[in-house]
Amino acid sequence: MSVEDTIEQQISNNPVVLYMKGSPEQPQCGFSANAINILNACGVNNLFTVDVLQDPEIRQGIKDYSNWPTIPQLYVKGEFVGGSDILTEMYQSGELKKLIDED
């Protein structure tokens, strides 16, 4: 399976996917920690995370897949949402919780 196939499978099989540095319990950068804190504040309990530090192919592959240069990256219901700055803005406006809570 190619890296792109792996990413597509992860995104399509999980409603909320965060590509991050580290784990939710031990984020390895401030931006990933911020993303986890925001998702926790939104009440996300079905979060699927991928530690890009464990797989260099995924780390580069997700940047190519989304055409977005930085990590973390959030996908909700198969759609790319954005990185840490966008998550912060969407959280503050209430948009992110609405997006996550939609059926």
Tens-digit pLDDT profile for residues 54-91: 999 999 999 999 999 999 999 999 999 999 999 999 99
Please give the average per-residue pLDDT across 4-17, as a whole number: 97
pLDDT over 80 (residue 51): yes
Domain CATH number, residue 80: 3.40.30.10
Q: Is the pTM of this model over 0.85?
A: yes
Q: What's the number of domains the chain is made of?
A: 1
With tokens 């464990």, the residue in question is 54
CB distance 59 to 71 below 8 Å: yes
pLDDT over 90 (residue 103): no
- Which value, in Å, is the radius of gyration of the alpha carbons in the chain? 13
**Dist CA 10 CA 5 (whole Å):** 9
Q: Which domain holds residue 67?
A: 3-101
Per-residue confidence (pLDDT) for residue 100, from 0 to 100: 93
**Dist CA 7 CA 97 (whole Å):** 24
42 is in an annotated binding site: no
